[in-house]
Amino acid sequence: MDQIRHKVAIVGAAETDDLGQLPHMSRLALHAQSAKNALDDAGIPLSDVDGLLCAGAIPNEVAEYLGIQPRYIDGTSVGGCSFMIHVRHAVAAIMAGYCDVALVTHGESGRSGVDAPRGGSASSPGGQYEAPFAIGGAPTTFSIPVLRHFHEYGTTKEHLAHIAAATRAWANLNPMAMMGSHRRAPERGGGPITPQDVLNSRMICYPFNLLDCCVVADGGGALVLVSEERAKDYAKDPVYVLGAGEAAAHWMVSQMRDHTTADGYRIAGEAAYKSAGLGPQDIDHCMFYDAFTFTPLMAAEDLGFVPKGEGGPFFAETKTGPDGEVIYKSGPGGDFPMNTNGGGLSYCHTGMYGMFAIIESVRQLRGECGDRQVPNVNVSMAHGPGGMFASAGTLILSNA
Amino acid sequence: MADYAGRLPVATPESQPYWDGLKEHKLMLPTCDDCGPHFYPRPFCPTPNCFSWDIKWTEASGKGKVHTFVISHQPIPPYHTEDNAPPYVIAVIELEEGPRMMSNLIIDDPYSTTVDMDVEIVYDDVTDDVTLPKFKPV
């Protein structure tokens, strides 16, 4: 157990007012609105913020836009797990006295593309050694490890389809979820789905059908962190950071050391467990970044919830509920509650989804989740990759 | 060939010999005497406990195996046209010499691709200046 445990707390967490299709909002406006909502959630004025951490924007851009001059900044921008890493860095910065109130912001016009720069240099490694082979975005690269995992361990598309169905079942309980029954009619693809629906959906990039892929959205989210001593002064019950880890394993997915194991997940996970003094058996609730159905399966294996190679059968296990309904392993009523906001698959995915995973961990720990509240959540893990399993960030959070 | 619509690599000084080799239909790999060849080209040996800057270029056999792959159904305009339509295979090839590289598999039926299938290099001269290393089943 190292010295970061229980020293810093998240006291504010919120998304933008809406998620989905927001063509009237730019990238920086999404950062700013989520900052306002998280600060309001905490009851802290913007003028108190003296630490700023963000991804998809240079900290100076966001600071200038907000009109603040923070004395601590971190622009780590390594994909969707950047925000888990920001929380880890904010803990260290607050403990070091570099700042007192840390604001972490995310805003991305992932669907409408309002100020959303795309594409890298043709001279970068990715530009020379991957892009020329008709790489078409995340469905063609996040999918690359999957068939190797199938080959080595017998994992199947049917296994993965259960994760999509379970996650949709959570979305149906979350009024904010884009593909949930509240927001999208069945004739437009919303509401409950079965594993067979996933397999029947349009092929995007084998082995991923449409319903193996996350939704594409505009949106943002933000967090506010303060020291443990100050944490009880604010509006909501604090959520303490018990443990945290991060890693950079590779950048191009073709260069992943072992396509069946995310080294970054293991490194970040081990650091998080060590600092928290906890293990997988102590985690009540998991938010595992799900850009695609396969992504959380890799997390469950590499973070020690299930032995390597057994993730497929683990997630495909179902039981029958009192009214004859199917209860999925990771769905409502299942014994491995995961991605309870509806996930990147069915709630919202802006491009760097990790922020939303942390927000849901905070809400579950506060007991704010209404119909989708998991009983007795005291310890939650929020974990994600950045890039295609390239970097990783892991947080272990608690309400006590 | 001048109307090639796919994305083209732009060499750096360090990778120029690699792209020059492909133009001559040779797959050249940067090689460390102690640790062997690596991919992608760097002017040093990327084995952390070696980190030697004594690198020679050696020619690979062009043989390898499909380490993993996907079959994309998404057209990328303007590269894909009616005559050159998806689905197509994006594969990570494990070369006989060890290193792995991203490429395309040229295959009539993409769904006949299998993990560990034996493949060999095909030099695709996409422009007068650029040759892309692609692979086909043996």
Residues 6+ positions from A272 with CB-CB distance below 8 Å: A243, A244, A245, A381, A383, A394, A395, A396
B64-107 pLDDT, tens per residue?
999 999 999 999 989 999 888 999 999 999 999 999 999 999 99
Task: Identify whether A71 is part of a domain.
Answer: yes
Query: How close B108 gets to chain A, by Cα (Å)?
Result: 16
Task: Identify whether B6 is part of a domain.
Answer: no
Coil/strand/helix, residue B86? coil
Q: Which residues of B touch A150 (CB under 8 A)?
A: 115
The single-letter code of the amino acid at B71 is I
Q: Which residues of A touch B79 (CB under 8 A)?
A: 134
Distance, in Å, from the CA atom of A300 to the CA atom of A163, rounded to the nearest integer, reads: 12
ipTM of this model? 0.94
Q: Which residues of A touch B132 (CB under 8 A)?
A: 132-133
DSSP A309-348: T-HHHHHH-EEE-TTS-EEETTSTTSSS-B-TT-IIIII-
Strand pairing class (B28-32; A285-288) = unpaired
Whether residues B80 and B126 share a domain: the answer is yes
Query: How close B111 gets to chain A, by Cα (Å)?
Result: 9
Whether residues B37 and B77 share a domain: the answer is no
CB A264 within 8 A of CB A389: yes
**pLDDT for residue A117:** 73
Q: Name A371's bridge partners.
A: none
Whether residues B75 and B86 share a domain: the answer is yes
Whether residues B80 and B101 share a domain: the answer is yes
CB A380 within 8 A of CB A286: yes
CA separation, residue A213 to residues A87, A129, A207, B136 (Å) = 27, 25, 11, 29
CATH code of the domain containing A39: 3.40.47.10
Task: Identify whether A281 is part of a domain.
Answer: yes
> Least CB-CB distance to B6: which of A132, A145, A208?
A132
Q: Of A385, A94, A130, nearest to B132 (Cα)?
A: A130
Tokens of A69: 């001059």
Q: Which residues of A touch B9 (CB under 8 A)?
A: 122-123, 127-129, 131-132
A273: how many CB neighbours lie within 10 A of its CB?
Answer: 23
Whether residues B36 and B83 share a domain: the answer is no
CB A314 within 8 A of CB A181: no
Handedness of CA B52, B54, B57, B63 (dihedral sign): negative
Strand pairing class (A285-288; A379-386) = parallel
A341: how many CB neighbours lie within 10 A of its CB?
Answer: 27
Task: Identify whether A149 is part of a domain.
Answer: no
Task: Identify whether A93 is part of a domain.
Answer: yes
Question: Is B76–A259 a contact, with Cβ atoms under 8 angstroms apart?
Answer: no
Residue in chain A closest to B39 (alpha carbons) equals A255
Question: Is B70–A140 a contact, with Cβ atoms under 8 angstroms apart?
Answer: yes
Coil/strand/helix, residue A396? strand
Residue A374 is given by DSSP the state: P
A204 close to B (CB below 8 A): yes
Distance, in Å, from the CA atom of B118 to the CA atom of A253, rounded to the nearest integer, reads: 21
Residue in chain B closest to A127 (alpha carbons) equals B9
DSSP A6-23: TSEEEEEEEE-S--B--T
A189-226 pLDDT, tens per residue?
999 999 999 999 999 999 999 999 999 999 999 999 99
Coil/strand/helix, residue A74? strand
Residues 6+ positions from A255 with CB-CB distance below 8 Å: B40, B100
Residues 6+ positions from B49 with CB-CB distance below 8 Å: none
Whether residues B66 and B47 share a domain: the answer is no
B interface with A, Cβ–Cβ < 8 A, is 6-12, 15, 19, 39-40, 67-74, 76, 79-80, 87-88, 90, 92, 100-104, 110-111, 115-116, 130, 132, 134
Distance, in Å, from the CA atom of B91 to the CA atom of B137, rounded to the nearest integer, reads: 12
Distance, in Å, from the CA atom of A365 to the CA atom of B35, rounded to the nearest integer, reads: 50
Q: Residue B83 is part of which domain span?
A: 61-138
CB A164 within 8 A of CB B132: no
Strand pairing class (A391-398; A239-248) = antiparallel
Whether residues B48 and B67 share a domain: the answer is no
Q: Which residues of B touch A208 (CB under 8 A)?
A: 70
Task: Identify whether A155 is part of a domain.
Answer: no
Q: Which residues of A touch B111 (CB under 8 A)?
A: 206
Distance, in Å, from the CA atom of A175 to the CA atom of A338, rounded to the nearest integer, reads: 17
Q: Which residues of B touch A146 (CB under 8 A)?
A: 68, 70
Task: Identify whether B1 is part of a domain.
Answer: no
Distance, in Å, from the CA atom of A98 to the CA atom of A75, rounded to the nearest integer, reads: 15
A259 close to B (CB below 8 A): yes
Query: How close B66 gets to chain A, by Cα (Å)?
Result: 10
A134 close to B (CB below 8 A): yes
Distance, in Å, from the CA atom of A261 to the CA atom of A256, rounded to the nearest integer, reads: 9
Task: Identify whether A82 is part of a domain.
Answer: yes
CB A265 within 8 A of CB A28: no
Whether residues B53 and B21 share a domain: the answer is yes
Whether residues B106 and B128 share a domain: the answer is yes
CATH code of the domain containing B93: 2.40.50
Q: Of A359, A366, A72, nearest to A220 (Cα)?
A: A359
Our count of domains for chain B comes to: 2
Residue A373 is given by DSSP the state: P
Distance, in Å, from the CA atom of A319 to the CA atom of B127, rounded to the nearest integer, reads: 57
Q: Which residues of B touch A135 (CB under 8 A)?
A: 90, 102
Q: Name B91's bridge partners.
A: B69, B103
Whether residues B82 and B15 share a domain: the answer is no
- ∠A386-A390-A395 over CA atoms, to 5°? 50
DSSP B4-70: --S------TTTHHHHHHHHTT--EEEEETTTEE-SS--SS---TTT----EEEEE--SEEEEEEEE
> Least CB-CB distance to A145: which of B39, B68, B74?
B68
The interface residues of chain A toward chain B in range 173-202, judged by CB-CB distance below 8 A, are: 202
Whether residues B65 and B55 share a domain: the answer is no
Q: Which residues of A touch B10 (CB under 8 A)?
A: 121-123, 127-128
CB B63 within 8 A of CB B69: no
Residue in chain A closest to B13 (alpha carbons) equals A123
DSSP A199-213: HHSPEEEETEEGGGB
Distance, in Å, from the CA atom of B40 to the CA atom of B95, rounded to the nearest integer, reads: 12
Whether residues B127 and B69 share a domain: the answer is yes
Coil/strand/helix, residue B95? strand
Q: What pTM does this model have?
A: 0.96
Q: Which residues of B touch A122 (CB under 8 A)?
A: 7-10
CB A283 within 8 A of CB A336: no
Residue in chain A closest to B74 (alpha carbons) equals A204
> Least CB-CB distance to A129: which of B40, B73, B115?
B40
> Least CB-CB distance to A206: which of B71, B132, B134?
B71
Task: Identify whether B117 is part of a domain.
Answer: yes
**pLDDT for residue B96:** 98
Our count of domains for chain A comes to: 1
> Least CB-CB distance to B102: which of A150, A205, A254?
A254
Task: Identify whether B130 is part of a domain.
Answer: yes
Task: Identify whether B4 is part of a domain.
Answer: no
A133 close to B (CB below 8 A): yes
Return mean pLDDT, chain B. Answer: 96
Question: Is B9–A121 a contact, with Cβ atoms under 8 angstroms apart?
Answer: no
Q: Residue A248 is part of which domain span?
A: 8-114+216-291+339-398
Residues of chain A whose pLDDT is less than 70? 1-2
